[in-house]
Each structure stands twice: as C-alpha cells, then as structure tokens.
Amino acid sequence: MSSIKIRTKRQQGTTQIRTLIAHPMETGLNTDNQNQKTIAAHFIQTLTVRHNDKIILTTDMGSGISRNPYFSFEMKGGEPGDKITIQWSDNQGNRDTQDALIS
C-alpha cells in the first residue's frame, strides 16, 4: 500500500495538486520515553512531482517538516486524464511513488 495520497482539481486554467504522505518525519533530536534513547533521524529528503512524466517540481527537505506532511500547490494547465506522479525518498533509503490522473 502506498504512503502517498493525491487529489487533483482543475480550476480556471490551473490544476490544484494536494498530497498527504504517511511518514514519521523524525528529527533525530527526540528521546524515546520508554528506554530514554534518542530516536534515529528518519525524514523525507527529496520530493519530486511529475506531470505526464515531466518533472515540474523537485524539493529537498530536512528534518523540520511535521509528521505525515501535507503539500498543496497549483500548476498552470493540466487536462483531465493527464498523469501526476509523486515520488519521495528519505534519509534511510526508503522510497515510494504514486500516480493519479487529473479529474
């Protein structure tokens, strides 16, 4: 099961893209209350968004983003049936990718 949920909405020549990613986004500064050990850093480093396989956004992130991050942005254009792909990779080597069609 994918960790990424994508919603799209066309409006007046633009497409709104919203995504919610299930990820712990741990900073590496917190302590586990049960054993008093530092919780290892675990955060998304790179997020990439493609429209019909063309990269429209790439961002590098750090540990300061909240758990289960939500992102929303608009792109010019987009037609019903066009493919949106969102991909992330984190500092522990994990990755996920999800496709959605513009509705």
Which residues, at least 6 apart from 84, have a Cβ–Cβ distance to it below 8 Å?
6, 8, 17, 49, 50, 51, 99, 100, 101, 102
pTM of this structure: 0.91
Spatial separation of the C-alpha atoms in residues 83 and 62, rounded to whole Å: 27
CATH of 4-101, one of 3.90.190.20, 3.40.50.720, 3.30.450.40, 2.60.40.10: 2.60.40.10
pLDDT band at 1; cut points 50, 70, 90: confident
Backbone angles phi, psi at 50, to 5 degrees: -120, 145
Is residue 29 within 8 A of residue 38, CB to CB? The reply is yes
Is residue 85 within 8 A of residue 69, CB to CB? The reply is no
pLDDT tens, position by position, 47-70: 999 999 999 999 999 989 999 999
Residue boundaries of the structural domains of the chain: 4-101
